[in-house]
Amino acid sequence: MLHDANRSTNDPSALVEWLASRNRADLIDEYVRHYLTRNPAARPSFEEGAAMARSGMPFAKLPSGNDAVVLGWSVTTLMESRR
């Protein structure tokens, strides 16, 4: 299921948000591992987005055009909200 959904979108943060909305947060870590394995150069941007989320930066202030930054921000924000 997860890999088929991944092929259906070009927006990784949208897929993560969709998983969360379907109460499938258990698949988010698996998807992130899959995404970063397929896109290893994206890891620094993903970590940058996660750091931005932890610092409290609002979504509207994220740099546009970098899916990995947005993914890192979204995953961190979603997982923090579930604690």
Q: What are phi and psi of 47, to 5 degrees?
A: -65, -35
The domain total for the chain is 1
- Cα gap 48→21, rounded to integer Å: 24
Prediction pTM value: 0.85
Confidence at residue 79, expressed as pLDDT on a 0 to 100 scale? 86
- Cα gap 63→49, rounded to integer Å: 9
How many C-beta atoms surround the C-beta of residue 11 within 10 A? Answer: 12
Domain range for 30 is 2-81
Confidence at residue 4, expressed as pLDDT on a 0 to 100 scale? 52
pLDDT in tens, the chain (83 residues): 555 545 556 899 999 999 999 999 899 999 999 999 999 999 999 999 999 999 999 999 998 889 999 999 999 999 887 66
